[in-house]
Amino acid sequence: MKVLPFTILVPADRSVVSEEIELPYFYPYLHRHEEWQLTWVEQGEGTLIAGNNMHVFSSGDIFLVGANLPHLFKSNPDYFSTESGKSVKAHSIYFNTKNTLSGLFDLPELKAANSFLDNYKHGFKIPANQCTKIAAQIKQIHHSAGMVLLSNFLSLMNMIQSIDNDVEVLCPEVYSASLTENEGMRLSRIINFIMKNYHNKIDLEDISNTAYMNPHAFCRYFKKHTGHTFVSFLNEVRVNDACKKLLSEGNPESIANVAYKVGFNSVNNFNRVFKSVKGKTPSQYMDAYNKVSNIN
């Protein structure tokens, strides 16, 4: 593990590690570890950076993160304000098919599970219609031990491998996670800077200085390691935040207010970028969401 290596502490009496957290915000640095990670976000909103891709997350979402995939559950900026009163709550399962559980995964009965994990080596988002039962199984594992724990874990693996093939993968199969430690730390600084400041104007020179690079070198570096140009990445982050604000149940804001709050300098520019990212204008996006909500 080279990108901000994160060591999962494995107790002597467990080969499957479970963790429950309740904190002001998620761990704020890009990192990776040898274990697969299944995380149920019981409470919290933000953006999951996974390899060279991004996914909005909200309360109730579950993600399976591939072994050694650089990732970051980045909480929304308001979680970092001491006055917000917000907090995150999550439950995670960690398992290593190549180390502590290698003997189990070598059994012929787990051939299908191995094959499934190989096919989705970077992980995926659990479909919404499967989240309730998988969240319940995650809690079962957390409160079990010994052979019961292994039995519950095998049941969880059976649930995961039976999921339909039509899933939202975390990043493309061709993505390579072979970053050096220095590259990982640099990329972590860049992404953290963007996630903290995307609602303000960010000049190319500002972000280049964060990486200790000139603008030309920075653009090549960022494109190589994320698959995005800096501008396209920044626009996606802003649009993802805009989606949450536009659909807020408590007090939805106007399109104009949202546009300026997430960092756009004009409503016209916001509408154009939003449509290029989501395939719909902000108004169409809200209408489609409301229609589905009314049907449900």
Q: Which residues 6+ apart lie within 8 Å of 195 measured at CB?
A: 47, 74, 77, 237
Q: Are 174 and 122 in contact (CB under 8 A)?
A: no
Say whether pLDDT at 1 is over 50: no
**Mean pLDDT over residues 156-182, rounded?**
80
Say whether pLDDT at 167 is over 90: no
Say whether pLDDT at 80 is over 80: yes
Domain ranges in the chain are 17-169, 198-295
**Mean pLDDT over residues 213-226, rounded?**
90
Say whether pLDDT at 133 is over 60: yes
What pLDDT does 261 receive?
93
**Mean pLDDT over residues 215-225, rounded?**
90
CA-nearest of 171, 161, 182, 195 to 71 is 171
Could you give the C-alpha distances from 46 to 54, 88, 274, in angstroms and in order?
A: 10, 10, 18
Could you give the C-alpha distances from 59 to 76, 89, 138, 178, in angstroms and in order?
A: 12, 9, 15, 31
pLDDT in tens, 15-61: 899 999 999 999 888 888 889 999 999 999 888 988 878 888 989 99
pLDDT in tens, 103-118: 999 999 999 999 999 9
What pLDDT does 178 receive?
63
Over the chain, what HEC string results?
Answer: CCCCECCCCCCCCCCCEEEEEEECCCCCCCEECCCEEEEEEEECCEEEEECCEEEEECCCCEEEECCCCCEEEEECHHHHCCCCCCCEEEEEEEECCCCCCHHHHCCHHHHHHHHHHHHCCCEEECCHHHHHHHHHHHHHHHCCCHHHHHHHHHHHHHHHHCCCCCCEECCCCCCCCCCCHHHHHHHHHHHHHHHHHCCCCCCHHHHHHHCCCCHHHHHHHHHHHHCCCHHHHHHHHHHHHHHHHHCCCCCCCCHHHHHHHCCCCCHHHHHHHHHHHHCCCHHHHHHHHHHHHHHC
Residue that the structure tokens 């080969």 belong to: 15
> What is the amino acid identity at position 179?
L
Say whether pLDDT at 142 is over 90: yes
Architecture of the 17-169 domain = Sandwich (2.60)
Q: How confident is the model at residue 73 (pLDDT cuts 50, 70, 90)?
A: very high
CATH of domain 198-295: 1.10.10.60
Taking the CA atoms of 85, 127, 48 and 249 in sequence, report the sign of the dihedral they define.
negative
Provide the β-strand partners of residue 62: 40
